[in-house]
Amino acid sequence: MSDYLYGKSLNDFGSVKSTNLFSCLNIDKNFLKKPVSTWEEDVAYLQAKRRLLSLRAVNDTAERAVKLMQDFHGLITAKEEQKQFLLRCVQEHRNLYTRISVKDSDFFRALSARVNVDIGR
């Protein structure tokens, strides 16, 4: 396996889209054009390394699901069977409505806000 990796160049591990991360984080990517052996002395590389290592990786979807369950645990129903049924209903709803565009999402958000005002929430 290591022999396989030695035969690869840096271009084999990235693409044009990979460089979008550098642009989004305002990182100078000129060090990529230099030999890897010189990176540890390169100011641009050291700044990029420091910036990237300071990022915190999160799984928003999983964290939101856990938070949702913690907030509603026991509020809707205390019976485990009913809770599982409710979770299946939520999952089915998500499966049915996964292709809502941003435009549609804004519409539904505005509609929801209006409904909440209309019913006195």
Phi-psi region of 120 (alpha: psi -120 to 50; beta: other; left: phi over 0): left
Cβ distance 47 to 27 under 8 Å?
yes
Q: Count the Cβ atoms, other than its own, within 10 Å of residue 39.
A: 15
For 85, residues 6+ apart whose C-beta sits below 8 A from its C-beta are none
Q: What's this model's pTM, rounded to 2 decimal places? A: 0.43
pLDDT of 49 above 80: yes
Mean pLDDT of the chain, nearest integer: 75
CA–CA–CA angle 79, 83, 87 (5° rounding): 175
Tell which wins on pLDDT, 118 or 84. Answer: 84
pLDDT tens per residue, range 34-47 = 988 999 999 999 99
pLDDT of 96 above 50: yes
